[in-house]
Structure 1
Amino acid sequence: MNTKLPATHRFDSRDPDTIHAFLTSAYGTEMTIRAAEGYRFRHHRVDAGPFCLETMEQSTRLEIDVGRIGALVVVQVVSGRIDRTCAGVSGRFGPGDVFLAAAPGRPYSMSWLPGRVKSCLLDLSVLAKVAGGTLPGRAGTIRFTGLAPASPALARLWRHTTSYLDHVVLRNPYAYRQPLVIANAARMLAASALAVFPNTITGRPAATDRRAATNATLRRATAFIDEYADRDIVAADIAAAAQVSLRALQLAFRRHLDTTPMAHLRRVRLDRAHHDLLQADPRQETVSAIASRWGFLSHSRFTARYHATYGIPPSRTLHA
């Protein structure tokens, strides 16, 4: 996964031609926009590489036809109303509602009344990687079978996830400068999207997965984690290294360690952070910098987890 430092972009215009040119460039697709002359459109984007978080606001009724966008676009209405149609599926969304703008790779249309929305653009490769779509036996691409959340509780999950990433990660200079932090944030969004919106990555483990969930599989997986804990790896990479399916890997960890592959990876990274704290010069290093280096998104959560594991706060280890 390619990562880069988040970059902030702002746009504000009342000129329809300028707005049209900006939107087609920002989303990399053709658009048709019908609106009154002289309306105002404002756009704020934080581009983290594998994902972007945006806020948009406009002052009229917009009728927009959008071509195919090479990303998963999740929209949250803050104020106003949006009527969206994609592949014959229509929906009306008001304040607090969350929805997919389109099935990936499909064009869509929107009627947007004056108001404000937040959106997230997520690289499809992150989605496929989190779902294990590149592994042998995992067919093709992910298909979303619904464009609205499976439940109101899951809609809240999406809102909380994006709010957390915006406030805790992207506004933390220690965090967003670390490639592992941005990669973990992207995977958090992908995992949330797969949990929130109905899709084809579902079902129970097959009999072959249960047979493959052995101690040998676990040994191969943990050896790979130990070697590559400082890299941007996901459960699909671990499964590939262990030569099993993603579900077989998950079963192996649950059966033999009563945990998950990613939870085990986080524990290994916590141990590496502990080692760095022991070796660090407190005049040159900070707890936040070391935590971010090992992919921990939140300083407070890292501190709580560290204290629960080692019995003392990480600051005491650093200054010991």
Structure 2
Amino acid sequence: MQHSFLASESDPESDSDTSPLLGSASSTASTVPVRKVTVSGDDPATARQNYERAYDGSRFTVTRGTEPFSFQWVSIGDDRVSLRTATMTGHVTGETPGLTDYVVSWVTTGGGWIVRRDGQRMEIPRHPFVLPFRRPYTVHLTPHRQNSVLFSAPYLEDIATEIHAGPSQQVSFDLEATPTPEAIERWRVALNASTPVLTDETAPPLLRMNAQRPLALALLQLAPWAVVDLPEPLREPSMARTRLAVEYLHHHAAEPITPADAAKAAGLHTRTLQLHCRRELGMSPTAYLRDIRLDRTRRELADSSPQETTVGEVAKRWGFVHLGRFASAYRNRFGEGPSQTLRG
């Protein structure tokens, strides 16, 4: 994906802004609706400081490559969506405690990888992919040109309610899924259409908002996702592995998995996951997985009709063998029987 939405400045030093970079799209209203920041230079120490600010990270190192060293950051955006292009002829490594924005990124030259807390290594591809949200990871970049689109959490989570029809909640993307060619094309089309508006500092607010929404919807079609209502303690960096296990249950609920599989995927002992789930969620991971499957069953019944399917067929698809027990658990959770949901 060769699209580059923020071109290099002809003379970056002439209007360079040395204030902290727009590393995130603030969730609060900004006094300046749209802000453009350009930072560039030939000093690795300055580059390191700016990468640490942008990633809200630590222990960043920047080393020279074979080419004369230079770097440039260009970022433009408002409190909902920001576009960012980073170019560097050196190598970068560093740690981030977890992004607080939803970020889609890709490289047009060079490459690199990230390593999640669970040890999973993910190559940074040429096609758009979603970076880990609120999960610690380390980043490694070779000399590169990297594009990113940042969505503030409240904004994207509100847009997602148009799809899942529930309250605004954290969106958990399946980071192991590879975007389909169709999803990448939808993203490309949306990005190309919105970029002229989003990079125009004089664009009227309504026009800007109408350019942002299709891009947010394209992100929500880029990778599988689920909404996860997590209590605040599970959002802390120290609970990253437990959070990863809980998200695993959401992403793989349609598969024949157990809590032990989720614990293994997150690098936890099953007993630790059980203790944390009982303490923070008020139930065992087995009960939590059952509730996820009940919720998916309800969604499928609500989207169907008696002419299309039966309660028994949907229940069995979600692993409920004993229909009497299923109906009882369903009524206890939703206050109505599954047949009522199917009839609408």
TM-score range, shorter chain: 0.5 to 0.7
* 1:196 has 2:222 as partner: yes
Aligned residues with identical type, % of pairs: 19
Q: What's 1:14 paired with?
A: 42
Conserved in 1, the CA contact under 8 Å of 2:73 and 2:84? yes
Distance 1:51 1:171 in 2: 13
Shift of 1:110: 1.9
For the pair 1:83 / 2:113, whether they are aligned, the reply is: yes
Per the alignment, in what secondary structure is the counterpart of residue 226 of structure 2?
A: coil
Match of 2:143 in 1: 114
Aligned-partner Cα distance in 2 for 1:187–1:31: 33
Label 1:115 to 1:98 Cα distance change in 2 as closer, same or farther (>3 A). same
The equivalent position to 2:127 in structure 1, one of 97, 101, 112, is 97
CA RMSD of aligned residues (A): 3.3
> In the alignment, is the contact (CA less than 8 A) between 2:197 and 2:208 conserved in 1?
no
How do 1:67-82 and structure 2 match up within 5 A?
Answer: 67-82=97-112
- Match of 2:170, SS state, is coil
1 CA distance for matches of 2:168 and 2:35?
A: 35
Cα shift readout 1:37-90 (whole Å, capped 9, x = no counterpart): 584221000122211101111112222222222101111211111212224332
Cα separation, 2, equivalents of 1:30 and 1:187: 29
Q: Tell me which residue corresponds to 2:200.
A: 171
Q: Contact 1:77–1:93 (CA<8 Å) still a contact in 2?
A: yes
Matching residue within 45, 62, 70 for 1:35: 62
User: What one-letter code is carried by the residue in structure 2 that aligns with 1:47?
Assistant: G
Q: Cα deviation per residue 1:143-191 (whole Å; 9 max; x = unaligned)?
A: 1122554312212322332232212443384xx222x222233322221
CA distance 1:143–1:11, change in 2 (3 Å): same
When normalised by structure 2's length, the TM-score is 0.52
Q: 1:142 to 1:169 in 2, by over 3 A?
A: closer
SS in structure 2 of the partner of residue 42 of structure 1: strand
Q: 2-side partners of 1:107 and 1:92: how far apart?
A: 16
Provide closer, same or farther for how the CA distance between residues 127 and 67 of structure 1 changes in structure 2, counting only shifts above 3 A: same
TM-score normalized with structure 1 length: 0.55
Is the 1:150–1:197 Cα contact (8 Å) retained in structure 2? yes
1:153 equivalent to 2:153? Answer no
More relative contact order, 1 or 2 (CA 8 Å, 6+ apart) = 1
Preserved contact between residue 147 and residue 198 of structure 1 (Cα < 8 Å): no
Partner SS for 1:195? coil
Structure 1 CA distance for aligned equivalents of residues 182 and 303 of structure 2? 31
Distance 2:110 2:136 in 1: 22
SS at match of 1:171: coil
Separation in 2 of the partners of 1:30 and 1:137?
33
